[in-house]
Chains A and B, each alone.
Chain A
């Protein structure tokens, strides 16, 4: 923990501002946080990369254990808005 702090600085612990997050976006952070775990962080992905992945999960073009079940709950417009917001999260840190 102390080591992480030295490497990344206090921004690591900063709570994201969800006041402008589009519907559904803030829930993503429950699994995909600022740091990598067994699950990937999204902070270095572009909006296009996130949107492309979500679309592939939704159509089944990309295999997943769980993301396909979640992606099917969002329209293309919703996914675009989510992807754009998530991409700004990485930049703001």
Chain B
């Protein structure tokens, strides 16, 4: 595929001729076709903008519910979506990796050397695993001790290792310090693996080694583990010696400050950072994440570039698919306003995350966010987690609502 300046201009002229595209003009490039980027592309295009989505993969495999794939409760095909609906909508899809951003001339260079210019850029590169952060954990090690924190082959590898494990084995999951993608994710994963063990390998155990003393939905998870899984699940936090400082992948050993733990199946959820292009283009700061303006999502380190989803930081919103989708819509509104020369209105954002403790037992966390003191801050008095000591009917309802959320959001983004 080759995009020349001529074809871009031609498509621009065609776009302007279409009747729906009267008010807002401008060329927006979106990098990354996940929940954030694909949403942004759709909503921006719907507002009449010419939108190019740069995404190297023909299919998107979604992380939400992928813990159920690991536990054998779901198939990876139920997690897989295409960009056909986006292309039908009229979004130009460029199946390439974006390799460089030259913001001084507002231009993205693709891996094949083609350049695409933009008036505003929406950057949604998601996360990269930081293979330099944990001693012994590089890409080769992840083939022995999968992270399964980017969905796909890693997800299936972890599932296969669990299926191959003898009954009576020990599964160890290590969880990183904040911030990272999907804060309740490690604990949902522990829950659903424990469900698999309880049903298929009842003499086995699961240990979570955590670099934190507190985690998302903690009291709900701890209570549910005790009730459903008894002694099968053990969690060791930071102050109990849970922080993993090194892994020995060939022996499946987790090294902590307090000693060594040998696993039969080891799942290392390692430290993460914003996707590579955000780092290499200087849009992320020294923490590895991209600070943003809470009204426009414009990167503090790069004007005209808006960062949404897991790669951005700037307040209380967790790195979730729901957040990325909500941010995409608010960001699209701000980008369109800026391109019209208007001041964007202050947004209000919502996050909702469901986790499954077992297939018919769901718990949730919600939050409402608004710009305050340069951050997207929690609106006081709102949000929080599911009620403690709720009856089984409420847990079952939340498990159903999790399914409903997944159907709705994937329909909105990819359907």
Contacts and interface: CB of A to CB of B under 8 A. Distances in A.
Interface of B: 24, 42-43, 45-47, 85, 88-89, 322, 325-326, 329-330, 332-333, 336, 345-350, 352, 364, 366-368, 370, 379, 381-384, 386, 394, 397-398, 400-401, 403-405, 407-409, 411-412, 415
B348 A23 contact: yes
Contacts of B330: 26-27
Nearest to A32: B408
B381 A73 contact: yes
10 contacts: A13-B88, A15-B89, A18-B333, A19-B24, A29-B329, A30-B322, A31-B409, A66-B401, A69-B383, A69-B384
A18 B349 CA distance: 14
Residue among B364, B370, B408, B411 with most chain A CB within 10 A: B408
Contacts of A19: 24, 47, 333, 336
Q: What bracket does the count of chain A residues touching chain B fall in?
A: 20 to 34
Nearest to A39: B404
Nearest to B23: A19
Nearest to B395: A65
Contacts of B409: 30-31, 33
Contact of B412 (A24, A29, A38, A69): A29
A14 B352 CA distance: 23
B332 to A, nearest CB: 7
Nearest to B410: A33
Residue among B88, B89, B400, B404 with most chain A CB within 10 A: B404
A31 B413 CA distance: 12
Contacts of A70: 350, 352, 366, 368, 382-383
Contacts of A49: none
Given A17-B47, A30-B405, A30-B408, A23 B346 contact: yes
